[in-house]
Chains A and B, each alone.
Chain A
Amino acid sequence: MPDPGYMRRSPVTYTGMLWLLAAQLVVMLPLAFYLPVWLIPVLLFSAGWRLRVMQGHMEQPGTIGILIIGSLGIIALTVSGIPRVSLDMMASLLMLGFAYKSLEVIQRRDAMVVILTGYLLVGVLFLYSQSILAALYGVFSMTVLTASMIALQSSKSTVMLVNLRLAGLMLLLCLPLMITFFVFTPRFSPLWTFTLPSSQAKTGMTDRLTPGDIARLSQSDEPAFRVNFAGERPAQKALYWRGLVLNHFDGKTWTQFADDIDPESVKTVLKTNEYNIKNRLVKKGSGLRYSVIYEKTAQPWLFALSPVVDIQGDAAFGRDFRIMARKNVMEPLQLTLLSYPLALRDVILPPWRQQLALQLPSQGNPRSRQLAQELLAKSPTKSHFIQTVMNRYRTQDFYYTLRPPVLQTTDTIDEFLFSSRRGFCAHYAGSFVFLMRAAGIPARIVAGYQGGEWNEKGNYLTVHQYDAHAWTEVWLENQGWVRFDPTLMVAPQRIEQNLQTAVSEEGSFLEGQLLTFAKYNWLNSIRKRLDSGQYAWRKFVLGYNGETQSQLMQRLFGKLSLLKTALIIASLFFVISLLWLVSLGLARRHPQEAPEHQLYRRFCTLLEKQGIHRAPSQTPHNFAQLAASRLPALASEIQTFTNNYIQLCYSPPEDSDSHATLQRLKTRFNSLSKAIKTLRKTTGT
């Protein structure tokens, strides 16, 4: 086998080195968002050094030099604050090696190692981001990497575009096969668990409610999750996406529990099973089935129409009728849920749970407490009292604003209810629950999202961060937990339509963002189209896992055995190969040959099998004479065929006749080949 050593010995050309540097830069740039930025200057430094060496201006660094530079980089990584054993550290080390490798790239082999590492780093990028943009960038990186692979193989410096175009063509031709593999390859469950990227900022709803939080969220037009309803879409004002329950108030901030415990412990405390939930429910109304794709938040909280009675996907039930992810949502999570929004929850509430929902700080906000007592005294029933409090928000001059004044005193509830009277959902829900609890009625704050934007094209609902909302639940005998939303009293447009309408006069919608699609109507259709693209991406590409795969296979092929899958892949592979052969121009053998010449060539091979070879110098006429003398039985047939051929070649008939002559030549050829076959049979026996 010729596997000449020239490949191993051949050094990388200057152009090849430039390509390699470009590919390295392209691969490393997006990772700089997630990993130490100084890795890029390290790459530029080492690649610059190598280029200077190639130009003959500098010396190749020695072993000691490389050791010093290498250990400097590793020291810098250890002091950079990245946890020792984490994906970030592994990715950073890979990047460091990737950057340093160009210091010693001399042979094509080294360069190949760099390129293969580059492909791995594209995979690492996908661990950090799975958006369409990241995927497109990944495709771009792959093209550049492949193009530099080509540049390494070609000896001369071709135009940049040529390599890129060839790389693009190759990757494009790969697509059908890649999709075949993607669709049909069985998915496995994880072999071992890894610590996921930890440096990611948490986004979305958090487990604490200080008035500033929701205001911050209302300034973000990032999508939080997308919903696809199996049946009819509920009315906009019924879309209360319930997430967290905040029980504890310390005078300033609402938290889930008294002692501020971390989300992981909350999860273990709250986790329960389906039966527990079903036992505490009285089903009413009809069920609502829908599927949700949650964006990554780095937190475990999930949002749904409460109460959920059935979950398909990786999530758990919580004791307070919420649902939670089993681990922090690091990549888009898809669930299919069944909810009964009208069901009664916890009609019987044990006393200790009632106590939990009556907690108030021992001191503070005296005027509010007094108001609660006064109103309660005037009300004949509890529900009458609740209605009075609700109406108070409407009748007195409360304003819904995203720019509330900063509350100066420690008695924030008093200050809000009696002096400032300006605020948004968090203020209203907080003051409402305070008044309820002060009157001895169990109540709690619920944080989540309200509403969402309906996408007609994609037939789904997008809930954005600015849809973040806080409302309340009050426990009433025989009714269990009942939802009350005091914001509805002040700004009904917020609930019935959306936040943008509610604050349109104020103009504070997404005011922190200079350029955003959601702000401008004329850009809205573009935005919706982009969003439906993103939804499709989440649903069909990122959401394509073992479960959806088996569903699809079931729908397409029925029951599939492993053998059948292999057969399908093999046949698709066959078709794709044919496609490649045709598109690469490998299927045609003699593209320019005229039919009569083809026939004559077949005639020659036919005679060759009989042992009569035609020398290149022999004219058809001479050859026919030779063949006739060797095969006297077929002499006349050989002569007529040759004469026909000569006539067609040298004195071609009129256009109309040429077709007929060609046909004649064909029949002559066929009879000749038949005659030869019979001849062979008779001589053989």
Chain B
Amino acid sequence: MTPWKTARQQWLQRRFPPSREITLGLRQVFVIPTATSAALLVAVLILFLMAVNFQSALIYGLSFWLLALLVVAIFFTYRNLSGLTLTALRSSPCFAGEKAVFELRVEDIAGRSKQAIFIGWSDEDLVEIDLPADTSTLIKLSAPTRQRGYFHPGRLQIVSRYPLGLIVAFSYAQLDMKSIVYPVARLQPVNEQATLVHSSSEGGAEVPRGTTDFDGVRNYQAGDSPRHIHWKNYARTGNITTKSFVDFSVHERWLDWDTLSFAGIENKLSHLAARVLQCHQEQQEYGLKLPGTTLQPDQGEAHMHRCLTTLALYAPETSEHA
């Protein structure tokens, strides 16, 4: 990076400090002419020459009017951005390499209507919004990610050329929001058994109200499945009884860092992430063991996110230390 670029970055950093809510004003909005306005100036020049040569007052007027239009367009384009308020709402996690999605609320502080404003991190992911008067709108912006961990999106670009396209008004917003980026889910070709620590059913604990092994017969309770009703007994005695079953937690798994035989921290994390997804899909209970961190076996959406977050934020120094 050239010194000039670094200086510019620092200046932008100071000018646009991170914040949850940003309102664009005189200090935030930049206004520069576009190539179209250069073309307009050429037209103005042609008209002016026409006016000079034909001594035509009307053409003088026309050329001056166009020139004034260019000037007034600066104000109108600035107005289209000024007062625009962006509020960071929430972000949704993603896997590395995918796009993180951020949700923002956009409104005008004075309730003016706004048109054709483009917001986004890069030229490719611009979202165009129109804001009728006295309304706010929610937008979802996506940004590409590369690494696991916390992802801070860069400065947002906010661009508008409305109404005439002669002037471009733009601004930056450093929204104080971040998203979790999970490690890429990628299985390594390893012995499946190695990851299952306690694979024998002998050591498993009984889980009541299961579906697998017959446990005994008890009285019917409201809510028991009709399939488990002891119909033979009912035919014999007339009392409704229910067969009860137990599960052994044979399928309870530990996803353990230390049992992984292959090298590479990121590979291990990716493998574990893939296993988490697998277990979640199979609706099994699973626990996670990382150097320095242990998550007790559980299941469900929240547990999966907890595990993936732990994987995402895993810092290798501590592991080496351990």
Contacts and interface: CB of A to CB of B under 8 A. Distances in A.
Contacts of B6: none
Interface stretch (B58-66, B186-194, B225-233): B58-66
Interface string A184-221: 01011111111010000000000000000000000000
Interface string B145-172: 0000000000001010111110010100
B115 A146 contact: no
A191 B49 contact: yes
Interface residues of A, number: 67
A584 B62 contact: no
Contacts of A189: 52
Interface stretch (A108-116, A467-475, A485-493, A554-562): A108-116
A126 interface: yes
A331 interface: yes
Nearest to B42: A116
A525 B269 CA distance: 94
A621 to B, nearest CB: 23
B284 to A, nearest CB: 42
B289 interface: no
Contact of B71 (A126, A146, A175, A177): A177
B128 interface: yes
Contacts of A142: 62, 65
B58 A112 contact: no
B58 A130 contact: yes
A508 interface: no
Interface in A544-590: 544-545, 577, 580-581, 584-586, 588-589
B123 A173 contact: no
Nearest to B32: A1
Contacts of B115: 153-154, 158
Given A116-B40, A191-B53, A541-B57, A123 B163 contact: no
A31 to B, nearest CB: 15
Name the residue in B65, B82, B118, B161 with the highest tally of chain A Cβ atoms < 10 Å from its Cβ: B65
- Size category of the B interface is 35 or more
B78 interface: yes
Q: Interface majority SS on B: helix, strand, loop or mixed?
A: helix
Contact of A138 (B58, B63, B67): B58
Contacts of B22: none
A152 B116 CA distance: 11
A173 B72 contact: yes
B290 to A, nearest CB: 34
B57 A544 contact: yes
Interface stretch (A3-11, A395-403, A454-462, A598-606): A3-11
A257 interface: no
Contacts of B157: 2, 4
Contacts of A156: 130
Nearest to A542: B57
A312 B42 CA distance: 36
Given A138-B62, A153-B161, A113 B55 contact: no
A235 B314 CA distance: 107
Contact of A331 (B55, B66, B67, B73): B55
A127 B52 contact: no
A190 B55 contact: yes
A521 B164 CA distance: 49
A523 interface: no
B75 A3 contact: no
A112 B54 contact: no
A174 interface: yes
Contacts of A631: none
A617 to B, nearest CB: 12
B62 A119 contact: yes
A660 interface: no
Contacts of B55: 190, 331, 545
A178 B47 CA distance: 14
A130 B60 CA distance: 12
A27 interface: no
Contacts of A577: 75
Contacts of A679: none
B198 interface: no
A153 B165 contact: yes
A329 interface: no
A544 B49 CA distance: 17
A149 interface: yes
Contacts of B79: 584-586
Given A122-B62, A189-B52, 13 more contacts: A2-B159, A3-B34, A4-B157, A108-B165, A123-B63, A138-B58, A185-B64, A190-B55, A331-B55, A541-B58, A586-B75, A588-B110, A591-B110
21 contacts: A1-B170, A2-B159, A112-B36, A112-B39, A123-B47, A127-B59, A142-B62, A146-B69, A149-B163, A153-B164, A158-B115, A170-B69, A173-B72, A174-B69, A174-B71, A175-B65, A182-B60, A191-B49, A584-B79, A585-B110, A588-B110
A-B complex: 10 closest residue pairs judged by Cβ atoms: A174-B68, A181-B64, A177-B68, A126-B58, A4-B123, A178-B68, A178-B65, A150-B163, A116-B43, A190-B53
